[in-house]
Amino acid sequence: MQECDYEIEAAATKQFKLNLSPYPDLSVPAVVPSLSSKRVLTTEWMPGTSIDRAAAEQMSVAERDRVGSTLLWLSLSELFQYRFMQTDPNWSNFLYDARTQQISLIDFGACQSYDPEFVDAYLRLVRACAEGESQREAILHWSHELDFLTGSESREMLDAHVSAAVLVGSPFDARKQPFDFGAQDISKRIAADVGTMIKHRLTPPREEIYTLHRRLNGCFQLASRVGATIPAREILLDVYNSHQWHQPETQSEEGAHGVGGAESPLREAIVTG
């Protein structure tokens, strides 16, 4: 198993440390090669408290919002910028140091790489979901490209799929900004649609979808646990507008989304701390 191979985990830890080195709000432990092997992994000690506990005991409202925003940006950036995601959303893997206000990431035993075509299509799907029912055809198109759908599904299945997709995209809805993750109940509201999809789907999701959705759901749940209100749409558009496309977006796709403009200042805020 990958999570029991500490040479793989050491390599993943080093990659994350390199990826996140420009961002002072985020920290990854250094690996100690002389004390590590295939069966043992030694890293530097990272100070802090699990982030949900820290939110309850140490953070102001503004700090909870900042931390939640950083974690959402991190999840989207891992997938869409680096195409290399830590897929275990265990809250204890994110530590908060009240003295420095730094977030430390630990435990990189469960990481997943994603190919550029998959990432491009998934970002376009997320962007369509953020626009809601008005982008039904785009949601169905990119869902088919990503093998969620075969093209032969019943109307009941398609309606449930679009409904669930719009619910998952609701934190990015322009009408709901900033989004209060502490008050969201997406998991409860989506339950009926998930039941319909399990009953009527003609194909299971691709293997990498399971780990990806585990992390994204964990991100939403962690933001809820922290009690953060987040400019989620701004973060998504920042990631979207700065994305390096493997397959360039067509003019018709740009028009369908109705989005453009300059890059958000949020990335600069995270970089400068």
Q: What is residue 255's predicted lDDT score, i.e. its pLDDT?
A: 44
Please report where in the chains the tokens 């991190």 appear, as a residue: 74
HEC string for 45-104: CCCCEEHHHHHHHCCCHHHHHHHHHHHHHHHHHHHHCCCEEECCCCHHHEEEECCCCEEE
Beta carbons within 10 angstroms of residue 149's beta carbon: 20
CB burial of residue 262 (10 Å; 0-12, 13-18, 19+): exposed
Biggest CA-to-CA distance, the chain: 59
Spatial distance between the Cα atoms of 39 and 37, rounded to a whole number of angstroms: 5
Between the two ends of the chain, the Cα-to-Cα distance in Å is 37
Confidence class of residue 187 from pLDDT cuts 50, 70 and 90?
confident
Whether omega for the bond prior to residue 33 falls within 30 degrees of 0, making it cis, is no
Q: Does the pLDDT of residue 174 top 90, yes or no? A: yes
Spatial distance between the Cα atoms of 230 and 76, rounded to a whole number of angstroms: 14
Residue type at 26 in one-letter notation: L
Confidence class of residue 247 from pLDDT cuts 50, 70 and 90?
confident
Condensed to tens digits (0 to 9), the pLDDT of residues 43-95 reads 999 999 999 999 999 999 999 999 999 999 999 999 999 999 999 988 899 99
Question: Helix (H, G, I), strand (E, B), or coil: what is residue 105?
Answer: strand
Q: What is residue 89's predicted lDDT score, i.e. its pLDDT?
A: 85
Mean pLDDT of the chain: 91
The count of C-alpha atoms lying within 13 angstroms of the C-alpha of 174, restricted to the half-sphere facing its C-beta, is 9
- Which token pair is 174? 């322009």
Under a CB-based contact definition with an 8 Å cutoff, are residues 32 and 46 in contact? no
Q: What is the DSSP letter of 178?
A: S
Under a CB-based contact definition with an 8 Å cutoff, are residues 103 and 96 in contact? yes
Under a CB-based contact definition with an 8 Å cutoff, are residues 95 and 68 in contact? no
Condensed to tens digits (0 to 9), the pLDDT of residues 93-151 reads 999 999 999 999 999 999 999 999 999 999 999 999 999 999 999 999 999 999 999 99
Q: What is the pTM of this model?
A: 0.90
Under a CB-based contact definition with an 8 Å cutoff, are residues 235 and 266 in contact? yes
Q: Does the pLDDT of residue 263 top 80, yes or no? A: no
Confidence class of residue 266 from pLDDT cuts 50, 70 and 90?
low
* Neighbouring-strand partners of residue 97: 102
Confidence class of residue 253 from pLDDT cuts 50, 70 and 90?
low
Q: Does the pLDDT of residue 273 top 60, yes or no? A: no
Spatial distance between the Cα atoms of 231 and 237, rounded to a whole number of angstroms: 10
Catalytically annotated residues: 88
Q: Does the pLDDT of residue 270 top 90, yes or no? A: no
Confidence class of residue 268 from pLDDT cuts 50, 70 and 90?
low
46 CB contacts (<8 Å, ≥6 apart)?
A: 27, 29, 95, 104, 106
Condensed to tens digits (0 to 9), the pLDDT of residues 9-31 reads 999 999 999 999 999 999 999 99
Average pLDDT over residues 230-256: 81
Please give the helix or strand (H or E) that residue 236 lies within, else none: helix 232-241
